[in-house]
Amino acid sequence: MHNLASAPVDVSSWTARTRVAVIMQRRAIESRWQSEVWEAAGVLAGYEGAAAPRRIVDERDTTQWLYPGFDIVLQRAEAQGYFHNVSTAAPNVFVLWRMEGGRAVPHYVTVSYDEASRWMDGGAQVDSVVMPHAMRGWVREFVERHYQPEPKKRRRPQSFLAPEDRGPSDA
């Protein structure tokens, strides 16, 4: 597997948008039903290299393609989804991809756990990859600034309400 080394990423200049590149990987497998499997293998944070997709690894059992030019845009409406992601032990980046011309091609990238869940509920192929360390602080900072958990509402016990004000009975 090829490891792309990159210069340190300066997250202080990031706004609520950053550009990433996605690495898609084909692995040969021994199976009665298929000979290979495609998957997202990683993302490169702050990638500003060439814009065209290109093959970066071409070995007998493994091929990797680099797809640059994806923007991750943090939006206040998705702050809860970002919170769900970065509050885990291992935050992820989620990649929605489709097979095109014999290759897996990424179409969308997000760091919102909730958005990725909606994609999967819709039947899309979504892979998760480890979030680059440089991105974790950026997303956490956005969550700290914009995520406001819904206050828990105390429900008054039904026995203290008049019978006409009570909800449906569980009996």
Confidence at residue 55, expressed as pLDDT on a 0 to 100 scale: 95
With vertex at residue 22, the alpha carbon angle to CA 120 and CA 122, rounded to the nearest 5 degrees, is 10
For residue 164, give both structure tokens: 């006409």
3-class SS at 30? Answer: coil
- Specify whether the CB–CB gap between 68 and 49 falls below 8 A: yes
**pTM, to two decimals:** 0.79
Q: What is the mean pLDDT of residues 33-60?
A: 91
Q: How many residues does this entry show for the chain?
A: 171
CA torsion angle 159 161 162 166 (round to 10): -90
Helix (H, G, I), strand (E, B) or coil at 16: coil
Residue 169: its pLDDT value, please?
58
pLDDT category at 151 given cuts 50, 70, 90 is confident
Assess contact for 128 and 75: CB atoms under 8 A. Answer: no
- Using left for φ > 0, alpha for ψ between -120 and 50, and beta otherwise, residue 46 falls in left
Which phi and psi angles does 49 have, rounded to 5°? Answer: -75, -160
Residue type, 29: I
Percent of the chain with pLDDT over 90: 66
